[in-house]
Every structure is written in structure tokens, then in C-alpha cells.
Amino acid sequence: MTHPSFHRRQLLQAAALMAFPAALRAQPQGLEKITVAGWSKAITEVMPLLVEPDKGFYKAQGIELAYLPGAGGGDAIRNILSGQADLAFADPGSLFAALDKGEKLRAVYDIYPQNVFNVVALKSSGITRAADLKGKRIGVYSLASGTRQNLLVLLHRAGLKESDVQIVVTGLLNFAPLLQGQVDATAATDTGLAIGRRRGLGEVNVIEVRDSLNVSSDLFVVREEVYRQRKPALARFLKAYRDAAAWMIARPEEAARLAAVRAIDGSDPALALEVVKLRNAATVSPLTTRQGLGTMDLASLQAAADAYRELGLVQRPLRMAEVVASDLLPGRE
């Protein structure tokens, strides 16, 4: 993935933050607690939420940060609906599903504006484009996963239906079935592919979903009630997250070193650095380069919502202009 240049103002902000010890930036009194419901455990991919003990980005904004692990974007959404967390770290598909059920939610920050999903096939398969998947067996993590949802979007954009392929649930270790010939291709993510390659996957063809629809991979989502009642705290949290993301972009090696301490999967330094760099690349886009990290692409989200409805993944038309709230983004408070 090509890494767009990160504009000068954001780099200067990151450098200024790193020039002072976290203890000097911290505000020990009067912190307001914000709990983030994650889609995962404490893994390297979410390092901007894990380095608070080391960097103090959130305390600097008067926020006491808590991280609630989860198992998928739908889990993260459920945790904010139940009141166990304030913000969900969730994929657009999980957001669309909740909106389809009538939940009142707002998307307030684009964490990864790049689509990180893909479909991988061995070189020997002859599969090089989405149209080649017709009649093939394709692995997905689960039927409720982003791998399946993004696979369906990819097929739809190529004029294919789910019934044109055979979807096989392979679990997270989905490259073993590919190597063993149990599937012809497998849906994955950029980080999943990186791990597979380090485990001997070999030469493969990669079909990037972003080439068909480059919709965000993850957003920060809040309940409408929380959005209305806690705007100042949410805005401070988003500024802190933006600062943490800018730090990780500017200091990937430091982030990878801290992953060994803070992330459950950070024991391999080289892999941790690769994951950090992949997430840094997914964090930026031409739009964020112009308007700042976290900027949401309304047109892209609407196109994705429309595609999900055409696929039958949601039943109601969704008006994303009524869901996207940009007023809490850093610099727009």
C-alpha cells in the first residue's frame, strides 16, 4: 500500500508531543474516564490505545483511558449499546447492521480510511482478479466477519453473487487450508497476509478490495445519546487518539518496541514493526493529508452502505449524512 505523505503540520504536532516527557504533559487531577470497546484483544494493531502508560497522550487531554477487548466489530457495537463503553472501534459493516436494526449511532472519526481487506490465491491457481473467483471455494474467517462482508462487496463489484462461489469457514488460520488445497482462495486482511507470509505462505496473487471500493476499515462510533451529552470529553479523546496515531506514524520503531510490552502479539520485533507500518499506511489517505487524521469520507461510506443494501446485508436504506458527525474532530471543536 502506498503511504501518502503526512503533512507538515501533523508531523510538527507529533514532534512537539514527543519533546516532553509524558509525566510533564499529564493532568493528574480531574480526569474524565472514556472507555473504548475494541474489536480485538490488546494487539499491535491498536497500539495508539495501548501506549498510554508510556506516552500519556490521553492524560494530556484530561482523559482517563480504558480499553475493553472484544471479538469483532459487532461485539464492540454491542458493548456501547449496553453502556459498558463510550466508543466502539468498529468496522462499517457492523455499524450498518446496527443502524439497520434502528440503533441511534454516530460515526465520529475514521481510524483507518483505507480498506485493508483482500482475497489471496496461490500463483498456480491462475486467479488474478475478482471475476476469476466464479465457481471457486473461498475461505473466510467466519460468516459474520469482515472478510465475508468485504468478499461479497468485491464479488458484487465484479458482477458476481454469493451463490456464484462456495464460501468456506476456515477460522483465523485461513492460509493453512489454502496451502492444503481445501480452498482455491481465501479472504484476509493486510496484517493477516503479512503473518501468513512470515509463516511460509510463498508466492501469491492478491486481489485488493480497496481497488473495487476503498471504504474505511474501522471507525469510532458512539451512541447518539453519548454524542450529545459528552461532546467535550469525546473531542478531547479524539485529539488524544489523533496525537497517538501521529506519534506511531512518526516513530514506528518505538511503537514496535513498545508492542513487546503492551501487545499480546508483540513478541516478534520484525513482525510488530511490519504490522505497525501497515496500520500507519491504513491510517492516512489523500483526504486526511488535506484535512487531518480522522476525516471521514461521506461519499465512500454512503457507497458502501448502498452496496450492503444491494447485497441484502442490510434491509433499509441508510442515510450516512445523518450518521457521520465531523464536529468533534481535532481542530473542529
Helix axes 298-310, 146-157, angle to 10 degrees: 90
Count of domains for the chain: 2
CATH number at residue 148: 3.40.190.10
191 and 148 share one domain: yes
Q: How far apart are CA 105 and CA 284, in angstroms?
A: 24
CB neighbour class for 208 (10 Å; exposed up to 12, middle 13-18, buried from 19):
middle
Q: What number of residues does the chain have?
A: 333
94 and 230 share one domain: yes
Predicted confidence at residue 144, as pLDDT, reads: 73
Which residues have C-beta within 8 Å of that of residue 39, sequence separation ≥ 6?
Answer: 70, 71, 72, 73, 75, 76, 89, 90, 91, 218
Which residues of the chain fall short of a pLDDT of 70?
A: 1-29, 332-333
Q: Residue 192 domain-assigned?
A: yes
Dihedral angle, C-alpha 263, 271, 167, 123, nearest 10 °: 180
Which residue matches cell numbers 510488530? 272
Predicted confidence at residue 199, as pLDDT, reads: 83
Query: How do residues 221-279 score in pLDDT, each as one tens digit?
Result: 999 999 999 999 999 999 999 999 999 999 999 999 999 999 999 999 999 999 999 99
Which residue matches cell numbers 457495537? 77
Report the candidate in 169, 175, 170, 179 with the shortest Cα–Cα distance to residue 195: 175
Predicted confidence at residue 177, as pLDDT, reads: 92
Q: Which of 178, 196, 211 is the last residue in one of the domains?
A: 211
Cell numbers standing for residue 13? 504536532
Q: Residue 332 domain-assigned?
A: no
Query: How do residues 50-65 score in pLDDT, each as one tens digit?
Result: 999 999 999 999 999 9
Indicate the residue type of 183: V
Which residue range(s) make up the domain with 276? Answer: 8-114+215-322
226 and 105 share one domain: yes
Q: How far apart are CA 54 and CA 1, in angstroms?
A: 29
Predicted confidence at residue 332, as pLDDT, reads: 65
